[in-house]
Chain A
Amino acid sequence: MKTYDLAITGAGPAGMAAAVEAASLGLSVLVIDEQPAPGGQVFRAVEAAGADPALAGEFLDAGGALARGFRAARGIDYSPRSTLWHMDLVTGVISVLRDGASEEIQVSRLLLATGAQERPVPIPGWTLPGVMGAGAAQILLKTAGAVPQGPLVLAGQGPLTWLLAVQLLRAGAGPMTLLETGGKGALWDAFRAGGLWTGRRLLTKGVSLVREAKRRGLRIVRGVRDLRAEGEGRVQRVRWAGGEIACDTLLLHEGVIPSTHVSRALGLEHHWDEAQRCWRPALDEWGATSHDLVAVAGDGGGIGGWEAATATGRIAALDAARRLGRLSAEEAARRAAPHRAQLAAALALRPFLDRLYAPAPEVLVPKDDATIVCRCEEITAGQVRQAARLGATGPNQAKAYLRTGMGPCQGRMCGNTVAAIIAAERGISVEEAGALRPRAPFKPLTVGELAALPPEEVG
């Protein structure tokens, strides 16, 4: 069995930074990533996107530099197109699927750098072909240079909507409308959160994006409520309270949330983050979780963006070195100091953004009973409400009653929505309703891959 000091899942900013830092401290490092190339989602395919002018700016500059540093570092075994599907928390043995074969690997420590996913936006009609996440359109641009044709609607809110609007307009996308779902008082509420001065660099970046989007002809409708996608066989128009518009593509975005599927499957302690309306693993200042062998860095531990992710990645790497006796506690603290300063600066604007872009209640709890919440098993909000009335007190019992979260995505898309619907129906908090408790395999593998029998024995 191969052994490593540190295994990292995810080759995004946190994973890359952690790997480089850990390797520089002499740790043997394995980086497991599902994608074919480093970058994570934020810097997805940054090496291949090369000189796409639509992506000019931070993506190519900062992302490119991170990927180059990662590729150049010595002492890192990089395993792309690989999936972590199990970890034995007693022995530290992880199971990794690559090229159709599962391999067990002994690690001294596992760092989850699994990043974020877009918050699901369960509006009526969101399962229609032509409706997708805004992040999905951005991935298409990054990985294939592709842009939506025909009338395009971007609906929702958050920093990504402006960045994506600009990138798609630069790339020649069709006429584009932004339906902003933010609340009217959100801006004033957000100002009270402060952090504007410390976060001024990020704020300036945001303001210039808004300006560029408007200059490039983005049509903006504000205060949009009761959004729904409609069409025969695919999305043809978007309706909202007081308006309607024809479109070929609808891109939804209500911010991103930590990908906690693996950290929850490992049974790590999690907290409900009321500001970001999501679960996050309980972490100490080094990214250490409630289990001795496991740490979390990057957006998977709480949304902070790529700059915060690189800082937490490096801090977690220092902690791994300290735990393995390669670094004294004092030295680890000394080396962590600049990363902590970088982290503080990167997070300064967060409270402002969290308030400004707080998702509307209807995004978290669909009003219309007919709205599908579990895309895999096609279970509606109304069915979840019925289950709550029957006595389901949380998403695990609802899963038993309804199969919500039993399909291939294993609740990644519906878990939080189901919990929020039950909470609303029973008059309890989402935290009290709880979260799904997923299990291995974290990603599907075939029975044959698991069995790993030589072909001559079967047949």
Chain B
Amino acid sequence: MSVTHDVIVVGGGLVGTAIAYGLQKRGLSTVLLDEGDVAHRASRGNFGLVWVQSKGLGAPHYQRWTRGSAEAWPSLATELAERTGLDTALHQPGGIHICLSEEEFEQRAVYMAQLQREAGNLGMEYRMLNHAETAEMLPGIGRAVVGSSWTPYDGHASPLYLLRALHTAFRDAGGTYRPNAGVSEGTAAPRDFSVQAGGETHRAPRIVLAAGLGNAALAPRFGLEAPVRPQRGQVLVTERTRQLLPMPTTSIRQTDEGSVMIGDSKEEAGYDSLTQTPELMRGMAQRAVLTFPWIAELNIVRAWSALRVMAPDGLPIYDESGRFPGAFTANCHSGVTLAGAHADILAPMIAAGELPPEMAPFSARRFHDVRSAA
């Protein structure tokens, strides 16, 4: 038996669900195919930043995309709250990147200046703050903090409430969600796609591959490529604590519940998302304590490692198949930051049937260009 839809979205994480919701609310009947209870699930390991100030050096299109998403977020959050009653805990008070040495501070200053130059007409407001200026914005910083960079665009949200809100809104808008439905088979023809998943066959004239690391194997079947690899990140989470942090930093944020999250590690560790390394956890804890000495008292109640979805150049890949028009792929490691763009910028493009020219720099064809140029 085969079920026909307007769109098949493969991947029920933050990326796939945001796109599926964006499509469904625009009137396209969408099926969202997801894996089971234990999948790699980068979404469940997301740190929760809606972050602009470290994104897109040397890639102005990515900087614009990130800024656009951060700007689209408030209306997405409001809409999800109205439709589902769920608060995604979005706060965009600006954000801080902490520097713990003169060297870090100088490098950061160069980085931010370059980012501003590349922003061109879009502009990019930022300030480099010394210790005292940082202390005014963030109470209780340690002596070790040399300074920081600040931008007004940054913020954070709850990845988990976002995922739940997107799932709920997608379902309430009439979308079809299928858990335990990893894609086992698929066939592609121009504007005619068929996949087998969870014992069913789904057909549609459009398909969106948003299966995270699963895209690497899935994409070639649909005339696409997604050369993504896992990059492990670890996060420490403390017990609930009364609100103390008025804004997030790149590696420390306080959630609405009050937990302090400590993160931002990067390791190349293959598909191993189970292992946690005490040395790395210790390094993260040390940086956190040097940044905010009061964090030392807090109990770590949980920690996790999760796998980021990384392209060779660290930038997202958005692409459409030349061979099979109607097949799209979305790959990125910033499912929270980019949720606004995915639901309300990318989804309309897919609904229209093709990606506009300004998306060309995100195509996986860039990796061939690099190779042929080299």
Contacts and interface: CB of A to CB of B under 8 A. Distances in A.
Nearest to A448: B296
Contacts of A387: 164
A451 interface: yes
A176 B159 CA distance: 49
Contacts of B270: none
Contacts of A402: 164
A447 B296 contact: yes
Interface in B23-48: 34, 36-38, 41, 43-44
Contacts of A53: none
B300 A89 contact: no
Contact of A410 (B168, B302, B305): B302
B276 interface: yes
Interface string A119-153: 00000000000000000000000000000000000
B128 interface: no
Interface in A421-453: 433-434, 437-441, 444-448, 450-453
Interface string A384-410: 000100111111110011110011101
Given A88-B278, A448-B297, A458-B296, A393 B160 contact: no
Contacts of A95: 278
B8 to A, nearest CB: 16
A437 B298 contact: no
A400 B303 contact: no
Contact of B303 (A88, A89, A441): A441
B293 A441 contact: no
B236 A459 contact: no
Q: Chain A CB within 10 Å — which of B171, B274, B277, B301 has the most?
A: B301
B200 interface: no
A450 B278 CA distance: 8
A453 B289 contact: yes
Size class of the contact patch on chain B: 35 or more
Contacts of B289: 447-448, 451, 453, 458
A407 B304 CA distance: 14
Contact of B144 (A104, A408, A457): A457
A88 B164 contact: no
Contact of A459 (B12, B180, B293, B301): B293
B236 A400 contact: no
A440 B179 contact: no
A451 B285 contact: yes
Given A393-B37, A410-B302, A401 B160 contact: yes
Contacts of B142: 458-459
Contacts of B245: none
A441 B171 contact: no
Interface string B94-115: 0000000000000000000000
B300 A446 contact: yes
B281 interface: yes
B299 A444 contact: yes
Given A390-B164, A447-B238, A452-B282, A86 B299 contact: no
A88 B277 CA distance: 7
B163 interface: yes
B274 A267 contact: yes
Given A95-B278, A459-B293, A451 B37 contact: no
A390 B178 CA distance: 10
Contacts of B302: 406, 410, 438-439, 441
A450 B295 CA distance: 11
A417 to B, nearest CB: 16
B130 to A, nearest CB: 18
B177 interface: yes
B275 interface: yes
A93 B276 CA distance: 12
Contacts of A406: 302
Contacts of B180: 393
Contact of A401 (B163, B281, B296, B301): B163
A440 B276 contact: yes
B167 A390 contact: yes
Contacts of A394: 36-38
Interface in B264-312: 274-278, 281-282, 285-286, 288-290, 293, 295-305
Nearest to B260: A447
A387 B168 CA distance: 10
6 contacts: A88-B278, A267-B274, A392-B179, A447-B296, A450-B281, A451-B282
Interface of B: 12, 34, 36-38, 41, 43-44, 142-144, 160, 163-164, 167-168, 171, 177, 179-180, 236, 238-239, 257, 262, 274-278, 281-282, 285-286, 288-290, 293, 295-305
